[in-house]
């Protein structure tokens, strides 16, 4: 079932989205060589709970941490640990925030220190692929329009698209209908309606698109061990387009948080 959110619900989701953005900003301050990924997890946990919210991922289907941190060949769902960030690492941070019963979901990928042009382009183009997908969103468009745009952008830039994981609806559950694949055919799939809230989240690889699940039953990595990047926003569909709920907020707004 695909839920259409009321104005009141969208207001609440804006709040959850803002806190997600601010959590990412807080984590970003600490991304440097030598930091342990479990320290970043703790920073996220403290920040979210201090703001009277809850990390959506903690205990979700038994997930043991507040955020996902996936490094280099890890695509998504990396579990924070004693591992320390090092120069050249490609670090994907995925944050879920539940506030007043509504969730928000957003991911970003950072490069720690120096990296090759190829890796810099992987990260830049994965973010641009997200926006290429988002630009297709408006009432009356189809889910397949989003995936087709992401896939085309990725392939044009020599990147492959992970197909085993997809974006999703968001609301009172972190994962709701519909699925939002990062591939597909335009003009196909569910018709978008104003008030639908979607998490769009391309995971793009420098090498092959194939991935495997680690023995920890969470971490997903590329088969060929080449790096992967991940960007995600939670957005609400509107009549003429979309509104990003997890996007940047103004400085004035930050003062009041």
Nearer to Co ion, 69 or 199 (CB): 199
Residues in Cβ contact with 8 at an 8 Å cutoff, skipping those fewer than 6 apart: none
60 binds, among ligand MF3, Co ion, none (CB under 5 to 8 A by kind): ligand MF3
Nearer to ligand MF3, 115 or 190 (CB): 190
98 binds Co ion (CB under 5 A): no
Let me know how long the chain is.
257
146 binds Co ion (CB under 5 A): no
Cα separation of 112 and 87, whole Å?
Answer: 5
Nearer to ligand MF3, 24 or 77 (CB): 77
Nearer to ligand MF3, 141 or 199 (CB): 199
Residues in Cβ contact with 69 at an 8 Å cutoff, skipping those fewer than 6 apart: 37, 40, 41, 78, 79, 80, 91, 92, 93, 94
105 binds ligand MF3 (CB under 6 A): yes
Nearer to ligand MF3, 88 or 247 (CB): 247
41 binds ligand MF3 (CB under 6 A): no
Give yes or no for a contact between 53 and 18, defined as CB atoms under 8 angstroms apart: no
Q: Which stretch binds ligand MF3 (CB under 6 A): 1-9, 19-27, 58-66, 144-152?
A: 58-66
Q: What angle do CA 159, 212, 64 make, to 5 degrees?
A: 110
Cα separation of 6 and 30, whole Å?
Answer: 37
Applying CB under 6 A, the residues found at the interface with ligand MF3 are 57, 60-61, 63, 68, 77, 94, 96, 105, 199
Applying CB under 5 A, the residues found at the interface with Co ion are 105, 199, 201
């Amino acid at each position: 079932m695909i839920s259409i959110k009321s104005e009141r619900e969208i207001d609440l989701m804006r709040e959850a989205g803002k806190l997600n953005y601010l959590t990412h900003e807080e984590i970003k301050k600490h991304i440097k060589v030598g930091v342990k990924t479990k320290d970043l997890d703790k920073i996220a946990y403290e920040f979210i709970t201090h703001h009277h919210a809850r990390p959506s991922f903690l205990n979700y289907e038994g997930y043991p941490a507040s955020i996902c941190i996936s490094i280099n060949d890890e695509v998504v769902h990396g579990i924070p640990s004693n591992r320390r960030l090092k120069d050249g690492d490609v670090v994907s941070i995925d944050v879920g925030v539940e506030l007043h019963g509504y969730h928000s979901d957003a991911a970003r990928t950072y490069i720690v220190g120096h990296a090759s042009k190829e890796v810099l382009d992987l990260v830049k183009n994965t973010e641009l692929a997200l926006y290429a997908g988002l630009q297709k969103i408006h009432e009356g468009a189809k889910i397949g329009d989003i995936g087709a745009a992401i896939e085309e952008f990725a392939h044009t830039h020599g990147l492959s698209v992970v197909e085993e994981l997809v974006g999703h609806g968001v609301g009172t559950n972190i994962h709701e209908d519909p699925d939002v694949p990062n591939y597909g055919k335009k003009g196909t799939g569910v018709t978008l309606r104003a008030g639908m809230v979607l998490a769009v989240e391309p995971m793009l690889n420098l090498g092959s698109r194939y991935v495997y699940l680690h023995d920890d039953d969470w971490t997903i990595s590329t088969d060929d061990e080449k790096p992967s990047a991940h960007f995600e926003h939670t957005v609400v569909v509107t009549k003429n387009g979309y509104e990003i709920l997890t996007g940047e907020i103004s400085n004035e707004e930050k003062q009041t948080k």
